[in-house]
Every structure is written in C-alpha cells, then in structure tokens.
C-alpha cells in the first residue's frame, strides 16, 4: 500500500459512549484501515456520551472514505457526525492577505501615506523612474504568473484552478525569503497575449516568476520577456528544477566518487524541466546524456519541432542511439526522471552501473517506487516529502529572487543558476553527506542566504547595470 500523506489529512468527529472504550477501539480501526493516526481529541465529555475528533492521514481521497467506514463499523454505538478535509480547510478564503507596513492612525499618517503627501513621491518617480525601486514595493515584489496550462501533475486545468498553487508559491516566497509575491493567473493561453500582459504589468514588480506554463510556449514566453523587460524573468519549472537537480547530483557524485564529465546520464521527460536540467548539466560539464520523451529516445533523426528540440538533438545522444529507455539504462550511472509515474521497472535499475543514482522526480508518483529502486541504486531521490532526498524547488527560487532583487539585476544568467546549485549542495557538510541525505532540508535556514549570496556574487562580478 502507498504511504499516507498529510496532503490527505482528515478530521472525523464521532459521538459515542465510554462503555466501548473508544480511545482504544477507534485508533485500532484507523490502523486496521491503513490510516496514520495523528491526533485523538476529546472535545465534549458528558455522562451519557463523548465527542471525539479523530485526525489521521490517508493515502488519497478514496482511502479517507475507507478509514471513515472502518470507524463506523467498529461499533454500532459510534456515530460519525462529520468529516473535515484538513487540506480544504487550510485553503478556505485563500492563503494570502495584504497588510500595511506603515501606521494609518492619524490625519498626519494619512497626509503622508496618501494625499497630499503622496503626490510629491509620485512626481519624484515621474522625474526618475528608477526611484520606484526605492519608494514603492517594487524592489521586493514578484509576480507569479501562470496560464494554468501545466499545473503540477494536473495538466491544463485553467487559471482559476491554478490559483491555489500560485497562492502557495507566493506564501513560500514570503516564508523562505521575505519576498512579497502575488499570484497572477491569466485567462489566456495565447503566447502573444501572455507576453504583452506581463509586459504591461511589469512596472509594478521587481521580478517575474513564470509558473506552470506548458512547453514549448514557455520557452518563447521566457525568452521574449527577458528581451523586453528590465527586471529578471525566471521560469521556475525549468530553472528551479534544474538548479536543485544539479545540487543533488553534485553531492551524489561526490558520495560515489564519480565525475560529472564521465558519467552516463539518462533523462526521461524532454519538456520544460528536462530541457533546463540538460542545459545546466552540460554547462556544468556533463558530456554523456541521452534524453527521452513519450515517443522514445531523441536522436539526430528526431523531428526538429522547435528551437529547444533542435538544441536537444544537437547537444545530447552523440552516438544517436534509437533505443528504449530500458536499453539506455544498461550500464548508465544516473537516471533523472521529470516525466510520468511508473515507467521504470526494477530490472531497469538493476541493469545500471554499480553505485547508480536514481532521481525519480515525477509528482505525485515517481517513475519507479523508490523502495524498489533502492534495492539496486546507491542513491534514490524523489520529489516527495515522505521519502528521503526530496528534490524541491523551494530550495532554489526564494534565494534566487532574494539575490536578484537585492542586487538589482535585470537578467538571470546561467552562471547564477550554476552558482546557486553549488551553494545548495554546499549546505550539506561532508559529515552530513550520506545516501539518504544528499540535499538540505527546505527548512534549513542556511539555504536561502547561501543561494542569494551566490547570486549577488555573480551579479557583482558581471558588473550589472543597476545596483
């Protein structure tokens, strides 16, 4: 059975009487149904009955029903009053709010924060637009922009359905880097409309974080916006993933005593994330990469559907192997998956080179069960929080933008991305490094400062136009 997850946490309110020993009967029922009990709270206790909140983690929504039914079946005297989905409760009313940083208690306060005093500040900015960075929220504000076309593992679900993810992204910006981010979900999937819309709203932001926009449109949108805007544009699905993958690989190779330039790498998933991972790996010294999409290996005779696909054809699979994923993995040192669940067999991992590395990052279900992969691979990582070695973009994008905003640079460079990966890898000391700890925790307070410092150092070395 799959592992339970806090993402499917429920609270079941039950009413019963103490004669059946509910505090032992109910936990037993939850355990028998495969749930993980996290809390048992008596919320009302009278002579003739007791009300108990049973909080537990399930595998998925259907499993939550199974757990509830098991509690009902434990005794005829147990009545289920209601079941609350804790994830939905957390999202009620959204996850963000706006608060004023200045007091607004007196007429003097209003006179300076708003009219008439605010007019003087407006005129100063009109005279010199660069003052907007110092006199408005611009220097610490990021727009999280999505069209809802490639959300998590959910696909094209539209802008309204993408909002909870973008809100979450904004909350992560604030929590980990004290960056004020705001979700901008656009009701269009037209490339030109997206580019023009972001260009129009850019004056109010210090950076643009593109999110969950499907390939290949995301490549053109990012490239064009980089040309048009004087603020940094970062596509987290591409570059955030690539940074953390490189960081994990740096430490993994250090552990198995192999060099990036020597290892054979097989990557599944040649979309936005896959392209960015390969590009950053090659910049960092990787020489032997073969990439796969849903149609098979990418080789010299593959269709050149767009510029990014042409780049992949020219820079990977130098032997032009037209093979299956399983065939490519024979003797390979590294597998990186940013594709689809359960596409690898245990025998595929068993056929890899000694001390192999498997980064199976499809979410929510990886390319192979990590327990099976760990039977043969030296190091296994996933994108999930319930297994060791979580490859999570939260390690990258808060620090990246903290550095970009503080340095006042207008462009994100490959050198910044590589430097950020090295900084993340460096947050795991030699004493800490082992097969189940190749990457720091997202809650490690050293990560964001290390990444932002790395970005600022590169920015200063490149003499940015604006500081």
Domain presence at residue 110: no
Residues 170 and 294 in one domain: no
Q: Are 54 and 79 in contact (CB under 8 A)?
A: no
The reply to whether the predicted model has a pTM over 0.85 is yes
Instruction: For residue 160, say if its preceding peptide bond is cis, omega within 30 degrees of 0.
Output: no
Name the E strands within 352-404. Answer: 357-360, 379-382
CB atoms within 10 A of CB 394: 22
Clarify whether 169 is annotated catalytic: yes
Distance of CA 183 to the CA centre of its chain: 15
Residues 164 and 259 in one domain: no
Query: How far is the C-alpha of 456 from the C-alpha of 405, rounded, in Å?
Result: 9
Residues 51 and 185 in one domain: no
**pLDDT above 60 for 314:** yes
Name the E strands within 373-451. Answer: 379-382
Domain presence at residue 111: no
Task: Name residue, tokens 């040192």.
Answer: 333
Query: How far is the C-alpha of 245 from the C-alpha of 381, rounded, in Å?
Result: 10
Residue 152: predicted pLDDT: 81
The encoded tokens of residue 137 equal 């929220």
Range of the domain at 367: 238-467
**pLDDT above 60 for 421:** yes
**Last residue of some domain: 212, 231, 250?**
231
Phi, psi of 39 (to 5 degrees): -165, 145
Domain presence at residue 409: yes
Query: How far is the C-alpha of 135 from the C-alpha of 370, rounded, in Å?
Result: 50
Residues 171 and 281 in one domain: no
What percent of the chain is modeled with pLDDT above 90? Answer: 89
Q: How confident is the model at residue 466 (pLDDT cuts 50, 70, 90)?
A: very low
Residues 156 and 259 in one domain: no
Query: How far is the C-alpha of 146 from the C-alpha of 134, rounded, in Å?
Result: 27
Q: Are 206 and 406 in contact (CB under 8 A)?
A: no
pLDDT in tens, 88-136: 999 999 999 999 999 999 999 999 999 999 999 999 999 999 999 999 9
Residues 292 and 360 in one domain: yes
Domain presence at residue 374: yes
Domain presence at residue 30: yes
Residue 254: predicted pLDDT: 97
Catalytic member of 8, 72, 129, 169: 169
Residues 17 and 134 in one domain: no
Domain presence at residue 405: yes
**Last residue of some domain: 185, 208, 231?**
231
Clarify whether 114 is annotated catalytic: yes
Residue 309: predicted pLDDT: 87
Task: Name residue, tokens 């020597």.
Answer: 262
Query: How far is the C-alpha of 101 from the C-alpha of 115, rounded, in Å?
Result: 17
Q: What single-letter DSSP state applies at residue 288?
A: E
Residues 346 and 254 in one domain: yes
Residues 264 and 217 in one domain: no
Q: How confident is the model at residue 364 (pLDDT cuts 50, 70, 90)?
A: confident
**Last residue of some domain: 91, 107, 142?**
91
Residue 463: predicted pLDDT: 67
How far from 25 is each of 20, 38, 72, 82, 147, CA to CA, in Å? 7, 15, 11, 19, 48
Q: Provide the domain count of the chain.
A: 3
Task: Name residue, tokens 């537990």.
Answer: 56
Residue 386: predicted pLDDT: 79
The encoded tokens of residue 364 equal 């929510």
Q: Are 331 and 266 in contact (CB under 8 A)?
A: no
Catalytic member of 2, 114, 129, 174: 114
pLDDT in tens, 6-48: 999 999 999 998 888 898 999 999 999 999 999 999 999 887 8
The encoded tokens of residue 247 equal 């960081």
Phi, psi of 397 (to 5 degrees): -65, -35
Query: How far is the C-alpha of 28 from the C-alpha of 333, rounded, in Å?
Result: 45
SS3 323: coil
Phi, psi of 6 (to 5 degrees): -60, -20
Domain presence at residue 324: yes
Distance of CA 61 to the CA centre of its chain: 22
Query: How far is the C-alpha of 162 from the C-alpha of 185, rounded, in Å?
Result: 7
Q: What is the CATH number of the domain that holds 17?
A: 3.30.70.260
Residues 82 and 188 in one domain: no
Domain presence at residue 106: no
Residues 187 and 250 in one domain: no
Q: Are 446 and 427 in contact (CB under 8 A)?
A: yes
Q: What is the CATH number of the domain that holds 145?
A: 3.40.50.10380
The mean pLDDT of the chain is 94
Q: What is the CATH number of the domain that holds 346?
A: 3.40.50.720
Residues 361 and 439 in one domain: yes
């Amino acid at each position: 059975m799959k592992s339970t997850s806090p993402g499917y946490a429920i609270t079941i309110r039950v009413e019963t009487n103490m004669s059946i020993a509910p505090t032992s009967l109910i936990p037993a029922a939850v355990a028998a149904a495969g749930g993980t009990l996290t809390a048992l709270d008596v919320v009302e206790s009278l002579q003739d009955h007791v009300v108990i909140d049973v909080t537990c983690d399930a595998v998925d929504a259907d499993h939550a029903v199974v757990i509830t039914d098991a509690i009902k079946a434990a005794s005829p005297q147990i009545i289920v009053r209601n079941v609350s989905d804790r994830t939905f409760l957390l999202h009620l009313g959204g996850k963000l709010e706006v608060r004023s940083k200045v007091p607004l208690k007196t007429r003097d306060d209003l006179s300076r924060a708003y009219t008439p005093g605010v007019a003087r500040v407006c005129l100063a900015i009109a005279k010199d637009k660069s003052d907007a960075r110092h006199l408005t929220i611009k220097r610490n504000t990021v727009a999280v922009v999505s069209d809802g076309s490639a959300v998590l593992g959910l696909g094209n679900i539209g802008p309204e359905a993408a909002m909870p993810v973008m809100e979450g992204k904004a909350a992560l910006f604030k929590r980990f880097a004290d960056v004020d981010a705001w979700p901008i979900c656009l009701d269009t999937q037209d490339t030109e409309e997206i580019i023009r819309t972001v260009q129009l709203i850019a004056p109010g932001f210090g950076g643009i974080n593109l999110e969950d926009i499907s390939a290949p449109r995301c490549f053109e949108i990012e490239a064009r916006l980089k040309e048009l805007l004087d603020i940094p544009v970062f596509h987290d699905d591409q570059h955030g993933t690539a940074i953390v993958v490189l960081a994990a690989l740096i430490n993994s190779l250090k552990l198995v005593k192999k060099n990036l330039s020597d290892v054979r790498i097989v990557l599944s998933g040649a979309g936005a994330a896959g392209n960015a991972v390969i590009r950053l790996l090659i910049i960092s010294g990787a020489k032997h990469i073969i990439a796969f999409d849903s149609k098979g290996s990418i080789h010299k005779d593959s269709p050149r559907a767009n510029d990014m696909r042409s780049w992949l054809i020219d820079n990977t699979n130098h032997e032009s192997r037209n093979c299956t994923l399983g065939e490519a993995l024979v003797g390979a040192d590294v597998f990186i998956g940013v594709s689809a669940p359960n596409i690898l067999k245990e025998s595929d991992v068993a056929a890899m080179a000694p001390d192999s590395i498997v980064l199976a990052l499809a979410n929510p279900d990886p390319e192979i069960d990590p327990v099976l992969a760990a039977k043969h691979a030296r190091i296994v990582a996933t994108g999930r929080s319930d297994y060791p070695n979580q490859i999570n973009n939260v390690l990258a994008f808060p620090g990246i933008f903290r550095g970009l905003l503080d340095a006042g640079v207008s462009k994100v460079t490959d050198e910044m991305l590589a430097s950020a990966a090295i900084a993340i890898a460096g947050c795991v000391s030699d004493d800490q490094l082992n097969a189940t700890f190749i990457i720091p925790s997202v809650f490690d307070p050293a990560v964001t400062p290390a990444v932002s410092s790395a970005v600022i150092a590169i920015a200063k070395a490149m003499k940015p136009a604006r500081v």
